[in-house]
Structure 1
Amino acid sequence: MDLRIFTEPQQGAGYDDLLRVAKAAEDLGYGAFFRSDHFLKMGSGSGLPGPTDAWVTLAGLARETSTIRLGTLVSSATFRHPSVLAISVAQVDQMSGGRVDFGLGSGWFDAEHEAYGIPLQPLRERFDRYAEQLEIITGLWDTPEGETYSFAGEHYTLTDSPGLPKPAQRPHPPIVIGGSGKKRTPALAARYANEFNIPAANLDTAAEQFERVAAACREIGRDPAELTRSVWLTVCAGRDDAEIGRRAEAMGRDARQLRDGALGGTPAQIVDTIGTWAERTGITRIYLQVLDLSDIDHLELIASEVAPQLR
C-alpha cells in the first residue's frame, strides 16, 4: 500500500508550512506529497495567511526535495487555460527530475469562483471544457519534438503549437482523475487516466464507482488493471483515546466521526480499516488528508507504526 500525504493549504498554510511537511514526508518515506488546488478556505477558520498557488508551490518544492513525488488533488480546469497549464506542469516536472503526478478535475467550488471572479460554467459546459482540456494537455505533451499540434474544439482552438516544453517523464506525467460522476467521469478516466481516485467516500460508494471505471475501460478495450485505484481519507492516528481526541480537536473534528468515516483510531485500528478498503475496493494507494500541518509527530507515528504493517 502506497501512503501519500495530502494537504489543504487553503485552510491556512503558507509555503514554509508546506515545505516543512513535504520534507518530513520525504524523510519518513511517504510515496508523495500532494496539495489541493483551491484559493478559498472551506468552513471555519481564518484561512490566514491566504491562498498559495498550487503549481508555484510545487515548483518550489521540486527544487527543495529530491525523491518524493509531487502533485495536485486536483487542479481545477476552470482556473487555467490548458496550454498554460501544460507548460506549467511540464516545467515543474523538469524541475523535479520527473516526479510530478498530474491531477485534473472539472472544478466545483462556487464561492471560490465568485470570490476571485473566476467563471464557473454550468455543469454540462464545464465537463465539455474539462474533456477538451485533457485532450489538449496530453496532445501538447505527446506531440513529437519538431512537429506541431492543432486543436479545434467548441471551447478551445490551438493552431500549429510547438507543444513545448516537454515534461521530463515521457510521454507525460501520470494523470490522476477522480470523482463520483456516473457516466462522463468514468469515460474520461478510461481514456486518459493512469490513476482513478475516490474522494472521501464510503466503501460501498467507492466500490461501485471503481466498477463503473472498470466497465468504461472494458468498453474501449482497455485493461482496467492498468489504472491504479486510490482514495483520499482524513487521517487522525493516536496511541490511545486521549491522543486521538487531542488530534481531532486540533483538526476541528469529532473523534467519533473520524473513527467511523475516515482513518481515525490507533495504528492497529487504522491498519485494519485500510485492509478492509483494500479487500473491498482493490485500492493500492491512499492519500492521507492531514489537516493539522503543525503536527509532524502525527506523520512520524503513521510512518513508524502503520506503514510497516502495510508492506
Structure 2
Amino acid sequence: MTEEFKLRIFTEPQQGATYDDLLRVARTAEAAGYDAFFRSDHYLKMGSVTGEPGPTDAWITLAGLARETSRLRLGTLMTAGTFRLPGPLAIAVAQVDQMSGGRVELGLGSGWYADEHTAYGIPFPSLKERFDRYAEQLAIVTGLWAAEPGEPFAFDGEYYQLADSPALPKPVQRPGPPVLIGGVGKKRTPELAARYASEFNLPFVDADTAAAQFERVDAACAAIGREPGEIVRSAALVLCAGKDDAEIARRAGAIGREVEELRTNGLAGTPAEVVDRIGAWRERTGITRLYLQVLDLDDLDHLELVASSVAPQLG
C-alpha cells in the first residue's frame, strides 16, 4: 500500500519564539489538518536575528504541547546527542509519549552547532567522538524502550555503560516511538539509519542530493537484510507561499530572504507553483512526507493558505 503524502510543520524557535508562540502555531496546524508539528533542538540563534526572548527547550515544549493538542504528531528535527545522556533522554521521550497518548517521534542527531555548546557550557567533542557516541546513544535509547517489561537492560560501550536498568518508563508506542535520522554523510549515516531509523530525512538539500542519499540508505538496508521500504523518506524545505507575487515578496522579506533564492532552494510561489514543486520532489525522490520550515511564527495565515490551497491537491 502506498503511504499517504503528509505535510508537517517545522519550526526554528531558537530564532526567537516563546512557548506561547509555538502553542499558537501548533494549534493552528492541528486545526488546519497538518499531520505533525516538529521543532528544532537548538539553544542559540543563527544569523543576524537577536534570538530574543531566548531559547526554549525542545522536550519541555513538546511535553506542554502533548497536553494541549489531541491529534498532531510531535517531534524534533533533530535532538542533539550532545545535549542529553541517552538514558535520561529515553525517559523524557517515553514520558512525553505517554503524555501525548502515543504521538511522539524522536529525531536524533550527533550535534553540530559548536557556538551553542560554547554559549551554554555543553561539551563539544570531535566529530568522530560525537558520531561514536551517537551510535551508542541510538542503541541505548531504542534498547531501553524495546526491553521486555521486567527484563533488565544492560549496555557496555566505549562511552556509556548501563547495568541492571529497569528500562522504565515504557512509551505508549511499542517497541518505541519512531526514530528519525538524517543528513548527507555517505557511510555511517546510512548504516545507522538502516539499523535504527523509522524515517530518513534530508533537510535543505536539492532533490538530486536527496535521491542519491536515499539510495545509499536503501543499499545499507539491503546489506543487513532489512526491507528498504520500511524506512519513510522525507525532506524539509523552507516555505514561502502566497496568493500573488506581492504576498510572496512580503513573506520573503519578513524572513530576510530573496524570492528567487527561495524558488531555487525552498518552496516559494503561488499555491499552484508549490504544488508543482512538491510534485517534482516526489517524482525524483519518492518522499512521502515534507516538513515545511515556517520561519515567521506570527504569520498563521501562511499555514492556513497551504492547508486550504496546496494540501488538497497533493493526493
Which runs of 5 or more residues in structure 2 are unaligned? none
Counterpart AA for 1:77: G
* CA distance in structure 2 between the aligned counterparts of 1:119 and 1:58, rounded to whole angstroms: 24
Aligned to 2:49: 45
Please say if 1:21 is aligned against 2:29: no
Counterpart AA for 2:29: A
Task: Choose the corresponding residue for 1:67, options 61, 68, 71.
Answer: 71
* CA distance in structure 1 between the aligned counterparts of 2:172 and 2:72, rounded to whole angstroms: 15
Please say if 1:192 is aligned against 2:196: yes
Matches within 5 A, 1:94-243: 94-243=98-247
| 3-state DSSP of counterpart to 1:268 | helix
State the shift of 1:283 in Å: 0.3
Please say if 1:77 is aligned against 2:81: yes
Which runs of 5 or more residues in structure 1 are unaligned? none
Which string of whole-angstrom CA distances, capped at 9 and with x for unpartnered residues, describes residues 117-165 of structure 1?
Answer: 1111111111100000000001110111111001110000001000000
| 3-state DSSP of counterpart to 1:222 | coil
Q: How many residues of Structure 1 are paired with residues of Structure 2 in the alignment?
A: 311
State the shift of 1:35 in Å: 0.2
State the shift of 1:256 in Å: 1.0
| 3-state DSSP of counterpart to 1:160 | strand
* CA distance in structure 2 between the aligned counterparts of 1:163 and 1:45, rounded to whole angstroms: 41
State the shift of 1:44 in Å: 1.1
Identity of aligned residues (%): 70
* CA distance in structure 2 between the aligned counterparts of 1:136 and 1:45, rounded to whole angstroms: 37
Aligned to 2:90: 86
State the shift of 1:286 in Å: 0.2
* CA distance in structure 1 between the aligned counterparts of 2:105 and 2:154, rounded to whole angstroms: 25
Aligned to 1:256: 260
Aligned to 2:7: 3
Which string of whole-angstrom CA distances, capped at 9 and with x for unpartnered residues, describes residues 216-267 of structure 1?
Answer: 0001011111110000000000011100000000111111111111000010
CA RMSD of aligned residues (A): 0.5
* CA distance in structure 2 between the aligned counterparts of 1:252 and 1:57, rounded to whole angstroms: 26
* CA distance in structure 1 between the aligned counterparts of 2:313 and 2:63, rounded to whole angstroms: 33
Counterpart AA for 2:35: G
Which string of whole-angstrom CA distances, capped at 9 and with x for unpartnered residues, describes residues 42-84 of structure 1?
Answer: 0011101100000000000000000010000010000000000
State the shift of 1:188 in Å: 0.2
Counterpart AA for 1:65: T
